[in-house]
Structure 1
Amino acid sequence: MTLTPLDGLPGPAPDPAAPPAAPTHARAVRLAVSLLPLLLIAAWAVLDWRSLYDGVARLAAADPGWLLVAGVFTCLGWVAAACVRQGAVPERLPPGLLLASQVAAGAANHVLPASIGAHAVTLRFLQGQGIPLARGTASLALYSVVKPVAKTVVLLVFLVAFPGMLHFGDLMPDSWTLLLMAGGAAVALAATGVLMTVVPALRRPLTGLLRTALTDARVLHTRPSRYLPLWLGAAATPLLQGSVIAAVGYALGLPLSWAQVIFALLIASTAVGAVPAPGGIGPVDAAMVFTMSAFGAPVGLATATVIGYRVMTVWIPLIPGALVLSALVQRKVL
């Protein structure tokens, strides 16, 4: 016999130990967010199908051994990014999830310009690990400062180590270009100062962010387990990227040395790396072709090398990166 509550009388009280049911709309939003990376990849493939087809066709006729080497260097790039992210926060992060977050961040980075996607994924991951928003944002600021400084140090090392082989004078911008770059940096600094002075609402959060960033940077640089992966990982990043380009170039028959390819990447990314493009695609590619041709590579072969490099570092990792991103969203890591 089944007992039912009488009309107008309350039913049995809910079990307080039972977990609350997740709202249906929250599940739908999470499902949509997890599928969004795959939809963006499909849209990008439709819009840029010719470049993808040309790159895959060129790589199909290349030396598979060198392409395997390029794939290994591509994977090591994720490890270097994870090292830099770990070195930018005092707390110890779970290594496996940290590496997975950087694989996912790499996919997001190629969809949104100026590293916005990668920073958003990393910031969400840090918050999920219990790091407050202010300190997570400060770690992103430290990451953004360390990477160009480390790349400049690597560039100077190459200039000292290879003074005769690298024709640096042929690649130097003219005085007007240098003046324009200096003027742009001065305008950016002046605009930031004016905004902080004129808009009081921005002054407090920016000051707090700067104070937090300086405090964390001071703490991190007293711990070798943090500043070593921070700086070594940042210095290794351009070397790994250049090694991917060199390996792809060797697979296609590029007549340049490893040092010349690395130097070409350093010059190209330094000259136009500030242009906001998804993953640096576009401006850096054109600058790479120009720089490698200045070292003596045929323009067609330099173009094929850059296209193959983009396929190896963007298109091939994009699908697994998007799948990892979706999985992390589903597991509520992000």
Structure 2
Amino acid sequence: MPKLHKQYISIALFLLGMIVSACDDTEFVPEYAIEVPENLGDFLPQNERNLITEKGVLLGEKIFFDQRFSSNGKVSCASCHKPEKAFTDGVALSNLGVSGKALHRNSPTLANIAWADGLFWDGGALNLESLSFGPLTHVDEMNNDLDSLVGWLSDDPDYYPLFMEVFPNLGVSSASISRALAQFQRSLISANSKYDQYARADKNIFSSAEKRGLQLFTQHCSSCHQSDHFTDYSYHNNGLDSVFTDTSFEEVFKGRYRITRDPEDLGKYKTPTLRNIALTAPYMHDGRFPTLESVLLHYAEGVQKSETLSPLLKEGGKVGIKLSHQEQSDIIEFLHTLTDKEFINKY
């Protein structure tokens, strides 16, 4: 696992002038500084057509928590991405949307989502700018109409001037709604956990069990949950199922295959970050495991064979990861050190 550096570096994101052309709606971006921990890569990944501004982040935050963006006025983005649960919802398959019907996928954390390459469990959204359209319009989530939203916001004395200030070229539009939400989500940086304190300077902060857990985690888990992001942002079949039968229209139970149509991607899902993992139960793309104990037990005893099973789970001719009960317990002790209380208490 790469070594952490001690200091934070402040990055100034700025655009010196406005570039205007017939096909370019890039906005002028005043200087705005966000502290990015050096161990997360020294920089904040951005969309060059939607560079972060302070007021853009604040507008996105306002939208994120506003229930009026749903058709019944009772559901916001935060309904399924609650700050106190590290921007998850604590439900296996969320039924917190407008219809009350359970969705097909577990709500993932938004922590450090700026670094994600491909979004949703199968990578179906290319970037944060395209991510929000699905939840905003899905009949079982917020069930709204983009044209109706634009009409309401254009007449709203509170929102309208904010949009015009942040996005003077776009004004109020579906694009500016998604861009504001994207800016807010890129600002959701979690990197001040007990683990981070340990790695940066305080080697005495860990208990013996946490130190053993870190060693075991590095040995058995860090191939997929890499670096201090605790994910490789890639897709793996981690042995949840042996067959992948799905005759539904959306084919959500076939994993990455739904997007690529490559049989090699059957049963593969994005590796989730483990930051704040103690707060984001239940686990996996369908929320099938209620506790961290059940997750570790799966890897030790429950991995299912299939053609696309990750090679990392069948090394030495054996399926799964051999872990004693004590080793599983130690890994869980370490995973609890990834909780960032400052992050979850910020909103």
After TM superposition, the score normalised by the length of structure 2 is: 0.29
Rg larger in structure: 1
Which one has a larger percent helix, Structure 1 or Structure 2?
1
Which one has a larger percent strand, Structure 1 or Structure 2?
2
Identify which of structures 1 and 2 has the higher relative contact order when contacts are C-alpha pairs closer than 8 Å and 6+ apart: 1
